[in-house]
Amino acid sequence: MKAIVVGGGIGGLCAALALQQAGIDTTVYEAAPKFRGLGAGVGLAANAMQGLQRLGVMDDVVARGKQLDALVIFDEHGQEISNMDTRRLSNKYGINNFVIHRADLHEVLLSHLAPDSLVLGKRCETVEQNGDQVQVMFADGTHATADLLIAADGISSVVRQQLIPDSIPRYAGYTCWRAVIDNPGVEINKMISAETWAPEGRVGIAPLQGDKIYWYACINAPQRDEKMRRMTPEKLARHFEMVHSPVEAVLASTSQDQLIWNDIADLKPLKHFVYGRIVLLGDAAHATTPNMGQGACQAIEDAVVLAQCLKQEPVLASALKRYEKRRKARTAKVIGLSRTLGEVAHWRNPLLGKLRNTLFRAMPRFITQRQMEDLYRVDF
């Protein structure tokens, strides 16, 4: 069997790696003309690390990132709202609450791919199915043909839009900035992933290797807002100046060229991930808001499950049907929970915010632990 993967992000690279390990001749076609160290930090929970372990790359990934002890939410004054110790779950399910620079994760995955199986500068324009073959037409006038096509081209997937024209990203109501910076000399807890819920918005700070900091900041705003597009690190720092230390200092220490901005969106759960010999994977199939840190994690799961189904079921149609059945309900649940969490975290009303914080503080720890365990129990 020969397979084509459209999209060289985390999901696409993991899918190619998984299929190659299953003995399938797989080539990745990526639109970018060259692979650069772009992106900010990415969190990987135990379910993703289990997937990376099955792909044989976990040790290399661990060497480039950092495992943390807890996920902590603060209010604008720096008082804890929720503190989930992730060490117990790490002991039970393997490495958990792990952070790494996205570029480092890409490098590790690329290093394990078969030689010459990544082709850059190939932007997919259309796909066609003819009998037992799938053909991809690229913007440069070339094409590629295979027995199977995996569309891993993100939330704005060209392949998905051709197959399901009415499946378009839905705006979540808030916009987001991200960056990785050298620690400017501020004091942070280097063993936790911290998030602050404030009336001004939401800010997350996590340590990376080499005394670097990954941060993100989210603000309620209209979609494609011109004021948000023009936001600078200095303006962001002023916006969050009333929030506890070291938020303002971290934002102000960021240079404009380090800043990554995008509106936050997800996809309404799809009815199908498989269309003949075309398979949707990762954000192309089930883009979710980042509030649970599960976007990359679910894409990694997809890759492992797809390869397992293809190995276990000799009939292609049956294998793809099994993949869809194993992935659809689980990813739909993540989309729903993540969107709800984001809505609650972005409540602007001060009274509702205080009520939310009180309820979170009163929530028994075993409830949040149980919710996390539901994510970490994967049917690999």
Instruction: Return the CATH number at 280.
Output: 3.50.50.60
Tokens of 187: 């004091």
Domain membership flag for residue 242: no
Domain membership flag for residue 257: no
* Alpha-carbon 65 to chain mean position: 16
**pLDDT tier at 35, thresholds 50, 70, 90:** confident
Give the burial class of 141: count Cβ atoms within 10 A of its Cβ; 0-12 exposed, 13-18 middle, 19 or more buried.
Answer: exposed
* Per-residue pLDDT at 38 exceeds 80: no
Number of domains comprising the chain: 1
Q: Rounded mean pLDDT of 211-219?
A: 98
> Mind spelling out the 3-state secondary structure of 236-303?
HHHHCCCCCCCHHHHHHCCCHHHCEEEEEEECCCCCCCEECCEEECCHHHHCCCHHHCCHHHHHHHHH
Residue 305 host element (H or E): helix 295-312
pLDDT of 346 reads 97
Question: What's the CA dihedral at 247, 250, 256, 259 to 10 degrees?
Answer: -70
pLDDT of 13 reads 98
pLDDT tens column, 47-86:
999 999 999 999 999 999 999 999 999 999 999 999 999 9
Give the burial class of 201: count Cβ atoms within 10 A of its Cβ; 0-12 exposed, 13-18 middle, 19 or more buried.
Answer: buried
Angle at alpha carbon of residue 216, lines to 347 and 180, rounded to 5°: 175
pLDDT of 37 reads 65
Tokens of 164: 């399901």
Sign of the dihedral defined by the CA atoms of residues 317, 319, 322, 328, in that order:
negative
- Tell me 131's DSSP state: T
Q: Rounded mean pLDDT of 125-152?
A: 97
**d(Cα 355, Cα 279) in Å, to the nearest integer?**
44
**d(Cα 129, Cα 140) in Å, to the nearest integer?**
20
**d(Cα 252, Cα 231) in Å, to the nearest integer?**
12
pLDDT tens column, 326-358:
999 999 999 999 999 999 999 999 999 999 999
Domain membership flag for residue 258: no
Domain membership flag for residue 290: yes
The answer to whether 62 touches 101, Cβ cutoff 8 Å, is no
pLDDT tens column, 153-176:
999 999 999 999 999 999 999 999
Q: In a 3-state reduction of DSSP, which class is residue 369?
A: helix
Residue 327 host element (H or E): helix 316-345
**d(Cα 64, Cα 51) in Å, to the nearest integer?**
17
Tokens of 199: 């009336």
Residue 153 host element (H or E): none
- Residue 24's DSSP bridge partners are none
Domain membership flag for residue 19: yes
Preceding amide of 207 cis, omega within 30: no
Domain membership flag for residue 16: yes
Considering all CA atoms of the chain, what is the largest pairwise distance in Å, rounded to the nearest integer?
62
Tokens of 127: 């796909």
Q: In a 3-state reduction of DSSP, which class is residue 155?
A: coil
Tokens of 180: 């990785």
* Per-residue pLDDT at 11 exceeds 80: yes
The boundaries of the domain holding residue 357 are: 2-169+266-376
Domain membership flag for residue 208: no
pLDDT of 201 reads 97
The answer to whether 129 touches 276, Cβ cutoff 8 Å, is yes
pLDDT tens column, 105-119:
999 999 999 999 999
* Among 32, 38, 52, residue whose Cα is nearest residue 299: 52
Distant-in-sequence, close-in-space partners of 85: CB < 8 Å, separation ≥ 6: 69, 70
Q: In a 3-state reduction of DSSP, which class is residue 200?
A: coil
Tokens of 250: 């971290």
